[in-house]
């Protein structure tokens, strides 16, 4: 992931940095992974409608919690992030017996039933969701964002 692709969201992401660090500390999830999901899902809120929903009104907030999970908190609140990271932790727990964190990240996007141990991203959005999130997390680490 080149720096030019990420540079436009940096000011927005910086506004979430303290919350991301707090949620990461409280949940045990690397803040770079949280930031990477925020980046991939909504480009740090850039792709959200004013009410916090995506254009299809199926997912809410900067981490895109699906409506079936009854999103909590404001669109960019710590409560929202904690809920989303809780879902990620739950999905990672389901997939970690046969898959790595990448499987949990893929399941966050497409659901655990659609993750294959052969090709974790096969059914994800764009066919590259977990690999893209991991690349974004590495970028946040490389620039010492956290």
Active site residues: 41
User: What would the two tokens of residue 81 be?
Assistant: 């992030």
The closest of 101, 63, 55 to 80, measured between CA atoms, is 63
Residue 109: CATH number of its domain: 1.10.530.10
pLDDT tens for 86-132 read 999 888 876 665 567 888 999 999 998 898 877 899 999 999 999 99
Segments forming the whole domain that contains residue 75: 3-142
Instruction: Enumerate the H helices of the chain as residue ranges.
Output: 3-6, 10-27, 31-42, 78-95, 101-110, 129-142
User: Does residue 51 or residue 90 have the better pLDDT?
Assistant: 51
Number of compact structural domains in the chain: 1
Q: What's the mean pLDDT in 7-25?
A: 87
Q: Is residue 64 a contact partner of residue 87, using CB atoms and an 8 Å limit? A: no
């Amino acid at each position: 992931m080149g720096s030019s692709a990420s540079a436009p969201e940096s000011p927005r992401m910086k506004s979430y940095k303290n919350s991301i660090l707090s949620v990461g500390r409280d949940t045990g999830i690397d803040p770079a992974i949280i930031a990477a999901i925020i980046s991939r899902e909504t480009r740090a809120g850039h792709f959200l409608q004013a009410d916090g929903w995506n254009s299809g009104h199926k997912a809410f907030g900067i981490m895109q919690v699906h409506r079936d999970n009854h999103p909590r908190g404001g669109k960019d609140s710590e409560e929202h992030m904690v809920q989303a990271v809780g879902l990620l932790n739950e999905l990672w727990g389901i997939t970690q017996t046969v898959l790595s964190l990448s499987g949990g990240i893929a399941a966050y996007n497409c659901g655990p039933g659609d993750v294959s141990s052969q090709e974790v991203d096969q059914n994800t959005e764009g066919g590259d969701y977990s690999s893209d999130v991991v690349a974004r997390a590495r970028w946040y680490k490389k620039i010492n964002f956290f």
